[in-house]
Amino acid sequence: MLHHRFLTLLLALLATALAFPAAAAAAIIDAAAVKAAQARGAILWDTRATPLYRKGHIPGAVSIGDAGTVLRNPVTEDFIETAQIEKILGNAGIDPGKEIIVYADRGSPFAYFGRLALRYFGADNVSVFHDGIEGWQDAGNPVETTDAQRAAIALKLTPRPELIASTEDVVTRGKSGAVQVIDARTSGEYLGNDVRAIRGGHIPGALNIPYEQNWKDPETNAKMSRRQVPDNKGAGLAPPDALKALYARLDPNKETVVYCQSGVRAAETAAVLETLGFNKVKVYDSSWLGYAARLDAPVERETFFNVGAMNGRLASMQRKIDEMEKMIGELHSSHSGKVACPAGKAC
């Protein structure tokens, strides 16, 4: 009788486990969670450019160079061919089927782009270490400067287009009001004052929340450039209550599309929304570059890129450069004790 009850209980537990799959990996983790994942044998991926990686990285972390450059077409900023990505990730031993921790500098959206890329190509167990290399060192952990190597693997990746929004999706569903849209760019881009594509402006109805608003201090980058702060600690993730207030105007149960210029900044905001319980979040991968190029797509605060004016500014800059080079040449000649010869004459 006891044996029969035990089997019944065991079958019930198995049925429950099958009905409710294991919880997805946390989108964003801290240094302690990175150490725990490291102990489990998780793959660590440093998405920064190679020179930064070699100045110091988390021990065992692999690199393919600047992920935002290596994995994307330099003109469209869309993903390169899947076969190329298979070779790049495979040669680095980055297997989307395993647990992966992605990081860069503190607050860098390129770590989140790395997560987006892995999820798009099949990864389910991938997290971002938001505080990055600075957070790792702040916690007293060691770094290494030699390139870490993992065994190369043969990958066959199958994109999951359902995880991202296409231009057609955004144009069609945006007109119907079926989705809520977040523009993670700067206010200048949103208002059409800073034009970085064929057109400026924003998708009608989009709510402008620059991705830096997810940080403790959204002005961190500007303050660092002006040397008003000694480090980037302000780029740490804002407390949960502050983030909830930031997105309080949105419905967590409604489909949410996030975009920026090319999907990188949007990837950070999308991950933050996931941590807040938004369960239908998509990144518009082509983002403003793709939307602005679709000339029948409606735009609010529409402005156009003035190619003629840009060429004029470039020509003016070139003239100034030529003048500076001439002055430097003349100074060099005078300091070397030589007299510059008139054009066309021998000295």
Residues 81-139: tens digit of each pLDDT: 999 999 999 999 999 999 999 999 999 999 999 999 999 999 999 999 999 999 999 99
Q: What is the mean pLDDT of residues 176-188?
A: 93
Output the pLDDT for position 45. Answer: 98
CATH topology of domain 22-159: Oxidized Rhodanese; domain 1 (3.40.250)
pLDDT reading at 325 higher than 90: no
pTM above 0.85, yes or no: no
State the CB neighbour count (10 A cutoff) for residue 149.
10
Q: How confident is the model at residue 307 (pLDDT cuts 50, 70, 90)?
A: low
1 pLDDT tier (thresholds 50, 70, 90): very low
For residue 192, give the 3-state DSSP assignment: coil
Q: Are 126 and 27 in contact (CB under 8 A)?
A: no
The pLDDT tens digits of the residues spanning 250-299 come to: 999 999 999 999 999 999 999 999 999 999 999 999 999 999 999 999 99
162-209+247-304 to CATH, choices 3.10.129.10, 3.40.250.10, 3.50.50.60, 3.40.190.150:
3.40.250.10
- Tens digits of per-residue pLDDT, 31-81? 999 999 999 999 999 999 999 999 999 999 999 999 999 999 999 899 999
Other residues' Cβ atoms within 10 Å of the Cβ of residue 28: 20
More confident residue, 48 or 331: 48
Q: How many CB atoms lie within 10 A of CB 168?
A: 11
Task: Tell me which residue of 133, 141, 168 sits closest to 53, measured CA to CA.
Answer: 133
Q: Where residue 335 falls among pLDDT bands split at 50, 70, 90?
A: low
How far, in Å, CA of 247 to CA of 277, rounded? 11
Where are the domain boundaries for CATH 3.40.250.10 in the chain? 22-159, 162-209+247-304
147 or 21, which is more confident = 147
Nearest-angstrom CA–CA distance, 127 and 40: 14
Over residues 199-255, the pLDDT tens digits come to 999 999 999 999 999 999 999 999 999 999 999 999 999 999 999 999 999 999 999
**pLDDT band at residue 324, thresholds of 50, 70 and 90?**
confident
